[in-house]
Structure 1
């Protein structure tokens, strides 16, 4: 249902599952296991897997913290998008990578829920994509010391509000790993 013309395909987006990003994340191991399940499923169905990797002053490029977690292995032919901002589209080649593959729908996984995941969900949505969030395949760290809700609440709230997202010609949705299909019909 995307508003992007001639873009019938779906891609799996794996955002910022880097050592320094998920070191203290809630449910780290189960989230990574779910992402691995989705990566395997996407590869088996010839669905593009697009990896996104963040860097900034606190996450120096080429450092150990910047590296993707060892449990997730990107294949050389799978695109890797480097970013400096929360929204994976902002000042990156992500849009070109997706356009080249005819992608109009994204299945989103990764970290951190309350930062790069939310920014990318909204960034994709306003650019015309249908966007499905995998509810048990994203996570965040505990930022309660700064006044944020507990990670479980942040994750649950994001899953809840994204489940009902819609706008003319496009829709959001939240599903769990076991419910993911890469056909457009599961979005919502």
Structure 2
């Protein structure tokens, strides 16, 4: 249903599941296991897995914290997009990668819910992509010291608002890992 022409394919977009990003994150092990299950299923079904890896002043490229968590291993043939802004499309090669794969629909998982996941979902949607958030495969750290709600509430709110996101000619939604359908609308 995407408004992007000749882009019938779906990709799993794994955003910032890096040691320094998810260390201490809400339900880290459960979320990483759900992401790993999605990656395995996508590979088995021939669905492209596209990895996104963040770096900035606090998360230095090449540092231990910058590395993808050890439970997940991108395959050599899988695209890895490096970014330095919240929106995975902003000043990156992501659009070129997805266009080359004929992708018009994204299934999104990773971290952090209230930053890069949210920005990437909105970035995808405004660029014409259908975007499904995997409701139990994204997480965030505790930012209550800065006035944010607790992580479980941040995650629940993201799932709620993305479930009801609408725009002409595009679909959105939030589904659990077990309900993800790569071949069509979840």
Same fold (TM over 0.5): yes
Structure 1 segments unaligned to the other structure (5+ residues) = none
**Post-superposition offset of 1:171:** 1.4
The equivalent of 2:37 in structure 1 is 37
Aligned length: 186
The whole-number CA distance in structure 2 between the counterparts of 1:36 and 1:20 is 18
Could you tell me the TM-score, scaled by structure 1's length?
Answer: 0.98
Structure 2 segments unaligned to the other structure (5+ residues) = none
The equivalent of 1:155 in structure 2 is 155
State the 4+ residue runs in structure 1 displaced beyond 6 angstroms: none
- In the TM superposition, 1:1-188 aligns within 5 A as 1-186=1-186
**Post-superposition offset of 1:80:** 0.2
- Cα deviations across residues 100-150 of structure 1 (Å, max 9, x unaligned)? 000000000000000000000000000000000000000000000000000
The whole-number CA distance in structure 2 between the counterparts of 1:83 and 1:94 is 9
The whole-number CA distance in structure 1 between the counterparts of 2:74 and 2:183 is 23
**Post-superposition offset of 1:24:** 1.1
Could you tell me the TM-score, scaled by structure 2's length?
Answer: 0.99
